[in-house]
Amino acid sequence: MGFYNFNEEGALAADSVQSGSKVLDTGVYKVTVVTASKVIASTGATGIDWSIHVEGSKYPNMVYGMWVFKSNGDRIFNMDIVDSLMGIVGVKTLTEFDKMIDVKGGTKQVTALKELDGVKCQVAIQKEFDAYNGKVTEKNIIKAFFTPDGKTYAESVGNKPAKQIEYYRNKLKDNETTAYKQFKLEGDTQPDEVDTSYEEANGGSIL
């Protein structure tokens, strides 16, 4: 079943979007995409969860909730980032298939995107801190994909030097939501626990 057709305009626009396992620190990583799986939110929005294996690590890491389409089918800016990876890989269509993955405590069937299985690339990851009901959450956000040698899709097709990756290496910082900043102002800078309800609801970290 077809999931999505490549949009080159979106792939080129990904450069301008921004000028578990344990949550990864903010940075740029060499990774292999183990599984990219489609998820549907209770609101009807469509997202992609990413299982990525960081070079040199023992287990894959999960990056949850990259929302790419609204419930009415309108694309969200994150789809530009997915388009850029499709351009890097050289695929025009993403197709769905059922895949069994290992999760904490067992296995789980997901709707995976076939063409992204096993893709080697580099990825810019941001750690985000949030707070809700007195609990701190930490999650990762994918900010950009790069070729294995560090070029964005736009740099690759334009035969340009790899500059964007250095921007992310040098400028990308942890993000703190407004709720988290308020949480710190109230003096609760050392919470007793980190909320992992999203991960638990989705089968836990892939092992």
The per-residue pLDDT string of the chain (207 residues; one tens digit each, 9 = 90 and over) reads 566 676 666 555 544 433 345 899 999 999 999 999 999 999 999 999 999 999 999 889 999 999 999 999 999 999 999 999 999 999 999 999 999 988 778 899 999 999 999 999 999 999 999 998 889 999 999 999 999 999 999 999 999 999 999 999 999 999 999 999 999 988 755 544 444 444 434 444 332
Phi–psi pair at 86, nearest 5 degrees:
-60, -40
Residue 117 falls inside a structural domain? yes
Tell me how far apart the alpha carbons of residues 39 and 59 are, in angstroms, rounded to a whole number. Answer: 22
Residue 18 falls inside a structural domain? yes
Residue 51 falls inside a structural domain? yes
* C-alpha separations of 112 from 51, 101, 121, 207 in Å: 11, 10, 18, 17
Residue 197 falls inside a structural domain? no
pLDDT of amino acid 186:
84
Per-residue buried b or exposed e for 59-91, using 16+ beta carbons within 10 Å of the residue's own CB: bbbbbbbbbbbeeeeebeebbbbbbbbbbbbeb
Residue 195 falls inside a structural domain? no
The boundaries of the domain holding residue 92 are 2-186
Residue 199 falls inside a structural domain? no
Query: In total, how many domains does the chain have?
Result: 1
Residue 80 falls inside a structural domain? yes
Residue 48 falls inside a structural domain? yes
Cβ within 8 Å of residue 123, ≥6 positions away: 28, 29, 31, 52, 142, 144, 145, 146
